[in-house]
Structure 1
Amino acid sequence: MRRVSSRLVQAGLSALLVMLVAAHVAGAIDIAPLQRAEAWLYDAWLKRTAPGGSDDRVAILDIDEASLKAVGRWPWSRDTMSALMNQLFDRYGVAAVGFDVVFAEPDTSSGLDALRRLARRDLAGNREFQAAFGRLAPRLDFDARFAQSLAGRPVSLGYYFLPQGYGTERTGTLPAPALPADAFAPLRPGLPAPTGYGANLAAFQRAAEGAGFFNMRADPDGTARRMPLLSPFGAGYYLALAPSTLRVAFGGDAVRAGVERESLLGRAFRTPWIEVGGIRVPLSGDGSVYVPYRAGAPFPYVSAAQVLAGKVAPAQLENRIVLVGSTAPGLADLRVTPFSNAFPGVEIHAHLIAGMLDGTTRSTPPWARDARLLAVLVLGTLLTLVLLRVGPIVGLLATVALLALLLAAYAAAWSKSWVVPMAAPMLAVFGLYGLNTAYGFFAATRSKRQITRLFGQYVPPELADEMSRDPGHYTMEGQSRDMTVLFSDIRGFTNFSEKLPPTELAEVLNAYLSTMTRIVQEQRGTIDKYIGDAIMAFWNAPVDLADHATRAVATALAMQAALPQLNREFAARGWPELKIGIGVNTGRMSVGNMGSEFRMSYTVMGDAVNLGSRLEGITKQYGVGILVTQPTVDADPVHAFMKVDVVRVKGKETPVAIYEPLGPMATLAEAVREDAAAFAAAFAAYQKQDWDAAEAALRALNRRAPRALYDIYLERIAHFRTQPPPAGWDGVFVYTTK
């Protein structure tokens, strides 16, 4: 009853954790650490996948400290800005210009207003003054000259919106909305509508081909990962600076928008999109995209003063989209990004433009929340059930597997230009493992002590640990089960042992038995006993293993594969080389606590066990390292086998087909397959007493790769040619010794 109650408490705590994370994902509650984890995962993946190199499509015209020293403090006169525009388009042939600054106030630096007042008042009757003023006024109207420099050119001005809570002031003139209010019908992106704006003078806005807002959007940690590409205001939607600049660069065609409809698991989802300059960009539900930052310094920064002076190489600007911004202290709009804590805001627009051109902007699909919620609930429930049934090691493997699955899903979504936050499901999985491991450690201590008292002296400690999780499932009483047994022995051990002093012989055996035991235990086998240099092991008791035959064969192959390295170590110490024979058999066996009142042992017995021992003994007769029986072959779908013979071992009347395991079928070399098929044909001819065909096939095999097995059959054929087998011979070879 206590155990049941403990499991219920463990399950209840796990369910509570899953529901808390699910509530966060669903938006019912906000768990700040999960938000930070999502941001960390995004930043880490972005840095891992961000491309490098330079970009020859976008440049940044920098109003830097050197420019302020050469031209004067900002804002510069519109006369200077006119000259800058003329230089950019006429001298350097730029593709388009986008301003990360706003021109909200008239320029009075020319003194034109003072001259106008004189013309209207004090010098109203002075003909010479009026004539001179008429000639000078157009030249001194710097705003008009700047507007003229904008007209007919692919220029996008910049402006800003005032978010809710930042006032309702409205200055300057907004451009016409890029999209109508029903652009995304029947879906309206959940965009927060601003309450005011600061825009450019009407003359500039009329002259320019476009304008876009340059508001940044920071995540709760202050990092600029996303940018809105449009914002609702009044009767329509307005473009951000990056898409607006891209639009004018591609000829100023109208922006298109719509909703992409898709169905997933019976649910309908809608993804908003905009199309600028023929480039379609999917949006997140709030109208934003993730900025596709590139590593390094992909965009050249060109000093504005150098452009005004004509000292910049044309290749640095020609045919490029130019963004005008500042890095000068006091003017710089510095932002926190995943790559830097002081990142020029103007460059964020550059990365966004480059990403739109490359099609590498990312958005959060509308089904992301459902997918995350499903992942938390399904994987959380699945892992809870697993952790309630298995120990911390298997639980850790399951946890790692689920984390890898979630990470793979994150990467797959990323490759599709989707950002599907997976940190919350990952932390749910990791948290469940930590919770259950901590709880299980204390709850299992008592059970482990109990099971250790029962089985600790008979089975390996690692199996006792696993059994301690469910003590009621295991018993020391005898029972009959389908099992697989393995016997291994060092060939010629008697001669081997005579060559070494006792202390070195003990070292050899310890090294050999440790290596082989480790392999057995890796395949969850039970070491029954050591008989001198021999090892006896079995599978499917006391722990249930449906694939016990496969595990035993894999163990035998691994034991043989471990010998070369072991022999190299032995040779370095002057010890003789080891060769072993291994027999594996599957069948019905009796297993349990057997022995006397003085000594008990958890072991297996039965005819199937004896047959496994016989197989190990006859491996040397065929020159092979491993022999298994037909029942083992039938129970192992993973490995490939070659039939070696059909024999009657001593004490058994029923013939037994014996096989040599070749290795996993999935990775078996083609040459091995061909040799096995050729030997099968030779063996079939041998059993039909077609000595010529069998001999020819065996000699061909020997020429390719000589083996003692082929020589044995060639000797038998030579014998049968002089002393034919009796009539009715069934092709079975009889062994009269053990």
Structure 2
Amino acid sequence: MGNILKYWLRVLVSLLISVVLIMHSAGIVRLGMLDRLEAWSYDARLLMTLPHEIDPRIVIIDIDEASLKQIGRWPWGRDQMALLTESLFTRYKVATVGFDVVFAETDTSSGLPALTQLANTQFKHDAEFQHVLNQLRPSLDYDGRFAQALSLGPSVLGYYFTPYVQNLGQLPQPMLKSQRASALQLLQVKGYGANLVRLQQSATGAGYFNMSADFDGVTRRMPMLSSYQGALYPSLSLATLQAAMQTHLQIKNITESPFNTRHVALAADDMFIPVDKRGAVLVPYRAYPGYTYLSAVDVMTGRAPADLLENAIALVGTTAPGLLDLRVTPVAKNYPGVEIHANLISGILDGALRYQPGYAHMLEMALLLILGMLLALILPRLSPLRGALLSMSLAAVYLGLVAWAWQHGSVLNVAPVMVLILGLMILNMAWGYFAESLAKRQITGLFGQYVPPELVDEMSHDPSKFNMRSESKDLSILFSDVRGFTTVSETLTPQQLSDLLNEFLSSMTAVIHAHQGTIDKYMGDCVMAFWGAPLDNMYHARDAVLAGLAMQEELAQLNLSFAARGWPQLHVGVGVNTGRVSVGNMGSKFRMAYTVMGDAVNLASRLEGITKQYDVPMVVGEETFAVLPEMAFVELDSVRVKGKLKPVIIYQPLGLRADVSPHVLALASDFSEVLKAYRTQHWDVAQSKLAAMIIRAQAENVPVGLYQIYLDRIIYFREHPPAADWDGVWVFASK
């Protein structure tokens, strides 16, 4: 009787495990561990089957460090882009050019607008001036020159969609109406940042370059279609491919066996692109690098090999770390976004896109139900050895099915079925060896047959406290950048500039190290650092903010030394943000670096960039503010930075509360009242308080730039009242 009860108890526990896994597969519950295992299994299959040869049909024109060094900082003038495009079409005879770049703003760097203004005013009646200007106008119209270059061949521009209302530039013609894709559940975007009208009209087409990452921040799939105002728009890779092949893809519904499930695909005469219900495809990665990279400056100067480019699809993008177009992928942690577009084009041309067929989910549910009941009833009756042999045989058969499907372009989930088989096997083995055994030594001996003792010993006695393996941690990240560095550099000789930079970076590094920070990298005049790794630091946010304040103090002393040598004064903007990031040794087999990646890093960079918008030396994010009650802050604004959907409250740190003067604390408190009045559109209250604060601040030698900014906003909003649903958030459309 006792054995029967034990048997059915084991059966019941096994069935409960099966039910939980079925609920996960059905989407009723989500088990994060299974999601992570599934992602790992997909990445493992991908890495084991990566094509290693270079695809010669696609060439990446790289805006790399060498190009930036020779031509100048990005963005380049449109005359340079015209030169690059003309060279690709006329000298190298490429089939198509796709730009992983958006050109949303007019290029005024030639000075043509200023000359035109003079021609219409001071020199309105100067015939010679008018004549010379008319002769020079075509060469000074950089946007016009770029537009003309785009018309030389099939060219595709890049743009981006936003989840909030924004209309910059001109969208291309849509691919088709959304009603044609009723089977898809596409993301409904609300705004866009597109190219200048004259550029878009000269180009063959355009595609968006938005990318999506999975739950773990890894880019495994790419949305090929997005819906905007009742119309469908293609991705950059899809638009470039259509321009190159001179074809037009249509949406088709495909019926699949064995369950007669329906699947959606984009199809043309000789192309078939299966998409999931979100209109996305799995990226068919190649071993990195999978394509020939040519430096943009070599193409512009004619030094690039002609045979590599003739009749190729050219994608213009960047691998320069400072331009922040690197992604986390299964292939590499720092992966150029432009190569993702190249992989998609290559995979479509080869018909090598893998997808999860419509029947995969039903097959998984059926296997979980059948195998769960089978193993729950049989395993308790078998000896541990026979139970292990049965379970491993079933696992091997299923893995063989998964491998066969993978080779034929279909992706089946691995984790739920494998966890069921191995989990029930381990459960029954553990029950037999641990729950029912009275001899602990015997249990240990039996357990040692399946788990190597040296592995247990290594796990129990790890001598290494620190390592450089990638991990996810809460850190604080700091970015600093010299404002107006280009202007500063123009006043110095190369040797003086080198001496200034060396002394500046040495001083800033010393401050960061003194506050327990880790230097990530130097990017010209920019310094990136983080706190909390590799050494754990529970006060990482406090140390990062204090380091930023100390950098400003150190810079003040440094400027005295610079002034004595006749060098210009430096002004630095500092951004600090706190959040969960990926930290570890990342890179390629050619170069590795201990660095951090993640959304919190990007936001820190954005915060540094907007310090100048508020005329303050330092800005921190709300996550940093929230963990520092002992410090005094001024709330600056609620903003939506480029690349983030959720508004972020930003603050200026003043220092440790005990060290800040009562006058400064009072001004900070008063400014919070100004913000309340501003956000509720009580303009008179806000304006009167600001006026009084400016008088007090000037008397106490406190900067008033922030107050003047809000006075200007109030004046603007009086003449141009915000929308009825205005939430007080200030939107930054650029990085």
* Aligned mates of 1:278, 1:41 — CA distance in 2: 31
Shift of 1:297: 2.5
The 1:140–1:277 alpha-carbon spacing in structure 2 relative to 1, beyond 3 Å, is: farther
The one-letter amino acid of 1:327's match is: T
Shift of 1:417: 0.9
Shift of 1:46: 0.9
* Residue correspondence of structure 1 range 121-132 to structure 2 within 5 A: 121-132=121-132
Shift of 1:105: 0.5
Kept in 2, the 8 Å contact 1:379–1:402? The answer is: no
For 2:207, the equivalent position in structure 1 comes to 212
* Aligned mates of 1:295, 1:51 — CA distance in 2: 6
* Aligned mates of 1:154, 1:235 — CA distance in 2: 27
Say which of 238, 247, 256 aligns to 1:262.
256
Shift of 1:192: 2.0
Measured against aligned partners, the alpha-carbon deviations of 1:621-673 in whole angstroms (never above 9, x if no partner) come to xxxxxxxxxxxxxxxxxxxxxxxxxxxxxxxxxxxxxxxxxxxxxxxxxxxxx
TM-score of the aligned structures, taking structure 1 as reference length: 0.58
Shift of 1:81: 0.7
Kept in 2, the 8 Å contact 1:100–1:158? The answer is: yes
Range with greater deviation from structure 2 (10-19 or 407-416)? 407-416
The 1:356–1:119 alpha-carbon spacing in structure 2 relative to 1, beyond 3 Å, is: same
Segments of structure 2 that go 5 or more residues without pairing to the other structure are: 440-735
SS of alignment partner, residue 35 of structure 1: helix
Say which of 270, 274, 279 aligns to 1:282.
274
Kept in 2, the 8 Å contact 1:384–1:432? The answer is: yes
Measured against aligned partners, the alpha-carbon deviations of 1:538-559 in whole angstroms (never above 9, x if no partner) come to xxxxxxxxxxxxxxxxxxxxxx
SS of alignment partner, residue 330 of structure 1: helix
Shift of 1:69: 1.3
1:184 lines up with 2:181 in the alignment: yes
1:375 lines up with 2:363 in the alignment: no
Kept in 2, the 8 Å contact 1:6–1:443? The answer is: no
For 2:89, the equivalent position in structure 1 comes to 89
Shift of 1:248: 0.6
For 2:113, the equivalent position in structure 1 comes to 113
For 1:26, the equivalent position in structure 2 comes to 26
Measured against aligned partners, the alpha-carbon deviations of 1:168-208 in whole angstroms (never above 9, x if no partner) come to 222111111112212234x2x12222222211111111111
Kept in 1, the 8 Å contact 2:89–2:152? The answer is: no
* Aligned mates of 1:170, 1:301 — CA distance in 2: 33
Kept in 1, the 8 Å contact 2:86–2:152? The answer is: no
* Aligned mates of 1:121, 1:276 — CA distance in 2: 57
Shift of 1:255: 2.4
* Aligned mates of 1:9, 1:97 — CA distance in 2: 66
* Aligned mates of 2:230, 2:153 — CA distance in 1: 27
The one-letter amino acid of 1:258's match is: K
Shift of 1:285: 2.0
* Aligned mates of 2:64, 2:239 — CA distance in 1: 24
The one-letter amino acid of 1:361's match is: L
* Aligned mates of 1:54, 1:124 — CA distance in 2: 59
* Aligned mates of 1:191, 1:29 — CA distance in 2: 23
For 1:408, the equivalent position in structure 2 comes to 400
SS of alignment partner, residue 22 of structure 1: helix
Say which of 172, 194, 203 aligns to 1:199.
194
* Aligned mates of 1:318, 1:263 — CA distance in 2: 43
Measured against aligned partners, the alpha-carbon deviations of 1:22-47 in whole angstroms (never above 9, x if no partner) come to 11111111111100110111111111
* Aligned mates of 2:258, 2:352 — CA distance in 1: 24
* Aligned mates of 1:329, 1:3 — CA distance in 2: 65
Kept in 1, the 8 Å contact 2:88–2:94? The answer is: yes
1:169 lines up with 2:170 in the alignment: no
Kept in 2, the 8 Å contact 1:64–1:328? The answer is: yes
Shift of 1:339: 1.4
Kept in 1, the 8 Å contact 2:257–2:359? The answer is: no
* Aligned mates of 1:274, 1:71 — CA distance in 2: 40
* Aligned mates of 1:111, 1:152 — CA distance in 2: 26
The one-letter amino acid of 2:294's match is: V
The one-letter amino acid of 1:193's match is: Q
For 1:366, the equivalent position in structure 2 comes to 358
* Aligned mates of 2:194, 2:305 — CA distance in 1: 33
Kept in 2, the 8 Å contact 1:383–1:398? The answer is: no
The one-letter amino acid of 2:86's match is: N
1:68 lines up with 2:68 in the alignment: yes
For 1:319, the equivalent position in structure 2 comes to 311
Shift of 1:445: 4.1
Kept in 2, the 8 Å contact 1:275–1:281? The answer is: yes
The 1:431–1:193 alpha-carbon spacing in structure 2 relative to 1, beyond 3 Å, is: same
Shift of 1:263: 4.6
For 2:379, the equivalent position in structure 1 comes to 387
* Aligned mates of 1:64, 1:263 — CA distance in 2: 48
Kept in 2, the 8 Å contact 1:60–1:302? The answer is: yes
Shift of 1:152: 4.8
* Residue correspondence of structure 1 range 647-726 to structure 2 within 5 A: none
* Aligned mates of 1:367, 1:99 — CA distance in 2: 37
* Aligned mates of 2:198, 2:306 — CA distance in 1: 30
* Residue correspondence of structure 1 range 503-542 to structure 2 within 5 A: none
* Aligned mates of 1:443, 1:222 — CA distance in 2: 40
Measured against aligned partners, the alpha-carbon deviations of 1:234-258 in whole angstroms (never above 9, x if no partner) come to 112111111111111112x322121
The one-letter amino acid of 1:264's match is: P
For 2:158, the equivalent position in structure 1 comes to 158
The one-letter amino acid of 1:261's match is: T
Shift of 1:296: 4.3
Kept in 2, the 8 Å contact 1:60–1:325? The answer is: yes
* Aligned mates of 1:311, 1:152 — CA distance in 2: 21
* Aligned mates of 1:182, 1:17 — CA distance in 2: 42
SS of alignment partner, residue 30 of structure 1: coil
SS of alignment partner, residue 271 of structure 1: strand
User: RMSD between aligned alpha carbons?
Assistant: 1.7
* Aligned mates of 1:309, 1:377 — CA distance in 2: 65
Segments of structure 1 that go 5 or more residues without pairing to the other structure are: 448-738
* Aligned mates of 2:130, 2:269 — CA distance in 1: 49
Kept in 2, the 8 Å contact 1:218–1:224? The answer is: yes
Kept in 2, the 8 Å contact 1:63–1:303? The answer is: yes
For 2:225, the equivalent position in structure 1 comes to 230
Kept in 1, the 8 Å contact 2:256–2:359? The answer is: no
* Aligned mates of 1:198, 1:301 — CA distance in 2: 27
The one-letter amino acid of 1:107's match is: D
Measured against aligned partners, the alpha-carbon deviations of 1:349-398 in whole angstroms (never above 9, x if no partner) come to 11111111111111111222211111111111111122122121111111
Kept in 2, the 8 Å contact 1:326–1:346? The answer is: yes
Kept in 2, the 8 Å contact 1:247–1:277? The answer is: no
The one-letter amino acid of 1:242's match is: S
For 1:310, the equivalent position in structure 2 comes to 302
* Aligned mates of 1:64, 1:332 — CA distance in 2: 12
Shift of 1:443: 5.5
The 1:303–1:277 alpha-carbon spacing in structure 2 relative to 1, beyond 3 Å, is: farther
The 1:277–1:208 alpha-carbon spacing in structure 2 relative to 1, beyond 3 Å, is: farther
SS of alignment partner, residue 282 of structure 1: strand
For 1:133, the equivalent position in structure 2 comes to 133
1:356 lines up with 2:348 in the alignment: yes
The 1:197–1:302 alpha-carbon spacing in structure 2 relative to 1, beyond 3 Å, is: same
Shift of 1:329: 2.7
1:423 lines up with 2:415 in the alignment: yes
Kept in 1, the 8 Å contact 2:208–2:234? The answer is: yes
* Aligned mates of 1:375, 1:85 — CA distance in 2: 55
Shift of 1:232: 1.5
Measured against aligned partners, the alpha-carbon deviations of 1:513-562 in whole angstroms (never above 9, x if no partner) come to xxxxxxxxxxxxxxxxxxxxxxxxxxxxxxxxxxxxxxxxxxxxxxxxxx
For 1:10, the equivalent position in structure 2 comes to 10
Shift of 1:446: 7.8
The 1:291–1:66 alpha-carbon spacing in structure 2 relative to 1, beyond 3 Å, is: same
For 2:585, the equivalent position in structure 1 comes to none
* Aligned mates of 2:217, 2:242 — CA distance in 1: 29
For 1:439, the equivalent position in structure 2 comes to 431
